[in-house]
Amino acid sequence: MKIQESGENYLETILILQKRNGIARSVDIANELNFSRASVSRAMSLLKELGHIEIGNINQIVLTDTGREIAEKIYEKHCILKDFLTTIGVDKEIASEDACKMEHIISEQTFDCLKTLLDKLKKG
């Protein structure tokens, strides 16, 4: 079952918070995304049902293997897309915003070609 864009965003946010803080909690996710705690709670329930997260013994959100795989793939796309856009002259903030939108709709083929082009651009 394909996960929706909002689910991908939540998983990516959990990964980013874990990298930054060592832990992700619902309140941290709500603050990071500027969402209500109720919205985050509902989303966490759905992600748990799908098997993408587990709730730890101190209420931290833990990515399962499948959740981590999705989160890392989305995060990689975001980073590469942002890097590509800034390389071609787009402002960093705009590049980050555009990358957030693009990361969910770009095909694997297009993404792979873009990564190859970015490597060539950086090597000169």
Express each pLDDT in 18-69 by its tens digit.
999 999 999 999 999 999 999 999 999 999 999 999 998 888 999 999 999 9
Cα 3 vs. chain centroid, distance in angstroms? 12
* pTM for this prediction: 0.90
Whether 122 has a pLDDT exceeding 90, the answer reads: no
> Worst-scoring range by mean pLDDT, 3-7, 8-12, 61-65, 111-115?
3-7
Give the DSSP letter string of 39-103: HHHHHHHHHHHTTSEEE-TTSBEEE-HHHHHHHHHHHHHHHHHHHHHHHTT--HHHHHHHHHHHT
Whether 9 has a pLDDT exceeding 70, the answer reads: yes
Whether 3 has a pLDDT exceeding 80, the answer reads: yes
Band the pLDDT of 117: cuts 50, 70, 90: very high
In 10 A of CB 76, how many CB atoms? 14
In the chain, the domains with their CATH numbers are 5-69 (1.10.10.10), 73-119 (1.10.60.10)
From residue 8, give the alpha-carbon distance in Å to each of 39, 58, 77, 81, 105: 15, 24, 12, 16, 11
Whether 1 has a pLDDT exceeding 90, the answer reads: no
Express each pLDDT in 62-99 by its tens digit.
999 999 999 999 999 999 999 999 999 999 999 999 99
